[in-house]
Amino acid sequence: MTDGHSRWVSRPPGDPGGADDLGALVRRAGRGDEAAFDAVYEQIAPTVYGLVLRVLRDPAQAEEVAQEVMLEIWRTASRFDPARGSAQAWVTTIAHRRAVDRVRSAQAALRRDDQAAAGQPEATGDTVADVVEARLEGERVRRCLGSLTELQRESIVLAYYGGYSYREVSDLLGTALGTVKTRMRDGLIRLRDCLGVT
Amino acid sequence: MRPRRADPHTLAGPYALGALPPREQGRFERHLAACESCADEVRGLRETTARLAAATARQPPDRLRERVLAEVARTRQLPPEPAARTAAGPWHGRLRWARLTGRWLRAGRRPWFRPVAVALAAACLAVVAVSASVAVTASRQLNQEQASNHVLAAVLTAPDATMMSAPVRGGGTATVVMSHRMRTLAFSSAGLPAPPAGDAYELWLMGPDGDRPVGMLHPAHGMTSPMIATGLRAGDRVELTVEPAGGAGQPTTRPLLLLAL
């Protein structure tokens, strides 16, 4: 893998360094400071691109969507509110939403309907082994995902990296809707505690 | 498998994972606005999913940066959200109007509305400015007047200008046009009743660092000339009180208006 991983992910939890820097840079960018935005780009583009690519799988589309995401960050930087969460959470929420929007666009929907008709959840390639063994780079994230129950893990991985709605996840896993919702929540809580997210 | 309208609390997980369909997401967000513990939980879960995102980081092609920076150079930014939610206290209900306006301004759902709103506010303030300059008293020096008109014009035409309007307790309406980028606002009012003899309206900025007097307002023909406040800081609020005509060092009466910026 490249060494372009966002710097903050490798920090131990609780280390305020990178996260605070990014928040301050976003706020400066929100005041029209293009140099600050360039620095924001440097810090966050690998995370944005990586996530979008993970969800879309197609590098050409991922590049397009990553560009949309970075522009949305520029346009709305003045609305980043640190009281509501870190700049990383703000950015990745935007990136994930954009990627999922693209997935749900007409063409993608067609393709995915075909897959659903074939009744093959495996067609997504989003098996946990795949993610845990090959794709995830963050040691800590990998370890923490490994500490979840299988259902928690599958639900989270399919929803977040697969871009599926919880209803689709429920279908893919053949598990009741209510159970999937609950597993997503308690799985994330467990992940949060394992990662030391405050 | 048709979903029931379930306990919204359990949706915190799917919501943080971006796995809610748009309609349910809207419903859950309305719930979040009213449920502080839910909002806290979602905040933590979002930080968690941000870590999941970072775990997939991958260096994008260099051309992406060039394209993004080129687009940035020709892309206009949105103004900040009017942060009315920090307003607390007895005048909450009175801020409805301002919030409604703010929502329109920030939602981007009606892109035409913002220029219209600001143009309207500009027109109102301009009328006030003209009538006020006709009635100019000797109490202000001409160069001060010119300087403040210049600042007023700059605020009204700032690309990020936003308008808020709210009723004043006791009668009348206050209008604020603000530029976050300039950290400046223009305040005007209409329909304020005449203050008791010997008293006057005083405008304040109240912030985390204390209260700062902005100036005395003297209604003429039911309107006050635009008042400029500069050097706005995060968390500032605009307050209007009645004080002795000479002004007070700090507010001494119950506020007639309290606007979060």
Substitution target from B49, B180, B233 for chain A, most A beta carbons within 10 A: B49
pLDDT in tens, B66-75: 999 999 999 9
Task: Give the total residue count for chain A.
Answer: 198
Is B37 in the A-facing interface, judged by CB distances under 8 Å?
no
Instruction: Indicate whether B220 belongs to any domain.
Output: yes
- What is the reported pLDDT for A110? 61
Residues in a beta bridge with B260: B237
- What is the reported pLDDT for B161? 78
Instruction: Indicate whether B130 belongs to any domain.
Output: yes
Rounded Cα distance, B198 and B245, in Å: 6
Q: Which residue did the predictor score with more confidence, B116 or A21? A: A21
Instruction: Indicate whether B18 belongs to any domain.
Output: yes
pLDDT in tens, A102-126: 988 755 556 555 555 444 333 334 4
Instruction: Indicate whether B60 belongs to any domain.
Output: no
Instruction: Indicate whether B48 belongs to any domain.
Output: yes
Does residue B12 sit in the same domain as residue B114? no
Substitution target from A191, A192, A194 for chain B, most B beta carbons within 10 A: A192
Is B46 in the A-facing interface, judged by CB distances under 8 Å?
yes
Task: Give the total residue count for chain B.
Answer: 261
> Quick check: B68 and A187 CB within 8 A?
no
Out of A4-8, B20-24, B56-60, B141-145, pick the least confident: A4-8
Closest-CA residue of A relative to B21 is A165
Does residue B43 sit in the same domain as residue B104? no
- What is the reported pLDDT for A127? 41
Does residue B111 sit in the same domain as residue B36? no
Does residue B106 sit in the same domain as residue B45? no
Segment A24-37 mean pLDDT: 95
Does residue B152 sit in the same domain as residue B233? yes
Domain total of chain B: 2
Does pLDDT of A129 surpass 70? no
Gap from B69 CA to chain A (nearest CA, Å) = 7
Tokens, residue A175: 């598990």
Gap from B182 CA to chain A (nearest CA, Å) = 9
Does residue B108 sit in the same domain as residue B150? yes
Does residue B39 sit in the same domain as residue B154? no
Does residue B12 sit in the same domain as residue B50? yes
Segment B64-92 mean pLDDT: 72
Gap from A72 CA to chain B (nearest CA, Å) = 9
> Quick check: A138 and B6 CB within 8 A?
no
Out of A114-128, B8-22, B26-40, B245-259, pick the least confident: A114-128
pLDDT in tens, B105-148: 333 333 333 444 455 455 555 544 544 443 343 334 334 555 66
Gap from A153 CA to chain B (nearest CA, Å) = 12
Q: Beta-carbon neighbour count of residue B11 at 10 Å?
A: 24
Instruction: Indicate whether B98 belongs to any domain.
Output: yes
Which chain B residues are Cβ-neighbours of A45 within 8 angstroms?
Answer: 60, 64-65, 68
Chain mean pLDDT for chain B: 74
C-alpha dihedral (A75, B176, B127, B217), degrees to nearest 10: -150
Sign of CA dihedral B126, B129, B133, B135: positive
Question: A127 in the Ramachandran plot: left (φ > 0), alpha (ψ -120 to 50) or beta?
Answer: beta
Nearest to A138 among B55, B69, B180 (CB): B55
Does pLDDT of B153 surpass 60? yes
> Quick check: B46 and A34 CB within 8 A?
no
Gap from A103 CA to chain B (nearest CA, Å) = 12
Q: Which residue did the predictor score with more confidence, B59 or B121? A: B59
The domain in which residue B244 lies consists of 84-260
Does residue B100 sit in the same domain as residue B192? yes
Closest-CA residue of A relative to B76 is A75
Segment B12-33 mean pLDDT: 92
Tokens, residue A18: 């990178």
In 3D space, the residue among B1, B160, B189, B169 whose CA is nearest the CA of residue B77 turns out to be B160
Does residue B100 sit in the same domain as residue B48? no
- What is the reported pLDDT for B253? 85
Which chain B residues are Cβ-neighbours of A137 within 8 angstroms?
Answer: 55-57
Does residue B177 sit in the same domain as residue B50? no
Instruction: Indicate whether B66 belongs to any domain.
Output: no
> Quick check: A188 and B17 CB within 8 A?
yes
Gap from A57 CA to chain B (nearest CA, Å) = 12
- What is the reported pLDDT for B178? 84
Instruction: Indicate whether B137 belongs to any domain.
Output: yes
Which chain A residues are Cβ-neighbours of B77 within 8 angstroms?
Answer: 30, 32, 74-78
Does residue B24 sit in the same domain as residue B134? no
Instruction: Please give the domain boundaries of chain A with CATH numbers for all domains.
Output: 1-104 (1.10.1740.10), 106-198 (1.10.10.10)
**Contacts A–B by Cβ distance under 8 A:** 222
> Quick check: B78 and A177 CB within 8 A?
no
Closest-CA residue of B relative to A7 is B54
- The structure's pTM equals 0.55
A2-27 core/surface letters (b: 16 or more CB in 10 A; e: else): eebbbbbbeeeeeeeebbebbbebbb
Substitution target from A44, A58, A78, A194 for chain B, most B beta carbons within 10 A: A78
Substitution target from A22, A65, A69, A70 for chain B, most B beta carbons within 10 A: A70
